[in-house]
């Protein structure tokens, strides 16, 4: 990984989502008060120093923040449970 930027900053991009695995020592450096952004305060500097890696997956993403996709997600999950 050579850098990290939020989607939309310079056109289409990947969605930042998933599971993060971090060293406990890094978590100890998180501020306990005030504003904190995991993306800005952790991912950007880690990527800049080459201390971050990413796995990109583009199949099957459903943005449940979009009403049509939320309805589609319900259908997909119901089919997976054998309810459709």
* 27-75 tens-digit pLDDT: 777 777 788 888 888 888 888 888 888 888 777 788 888 899 999 999 9
Measured in degrees and rounded to the nearest 5, phi and psi for residue 18 equal 130, -150
Residue 11, beta-bridge partner list: 8, 9
CA-to-CA distance for 84 and 80, rounded, in angstroms?
Answer: 8
- Domain regions of the chain by residue span: 1-53, 59-84
Phi, psi of 67 (to 5 degrees): -50, -45
What is the distance between the alpha carbons of residues 65 and 26, in angstroms, rounded to a whole number?
Answer: 31
pTM: 0.57
């Amino acid at each position: 990984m050579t850098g990290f930027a939020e989607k939309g900053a310079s056109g289409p991009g990947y969605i930042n989502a998933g599971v993060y695995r971090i060293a406990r020592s890094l978590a100890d450096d998180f501020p306990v008060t005030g504003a904190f952004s995991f993306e800005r305060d952790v991912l950007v500097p880690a990527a800049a120093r080459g201390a971050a890696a990413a796995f990109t997956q583009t199949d099957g993403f459903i943005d449940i923040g979009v009403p049509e996709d939320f309805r589609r997600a319900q259908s997909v999950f119901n089919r997976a449970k054998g309810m459709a």
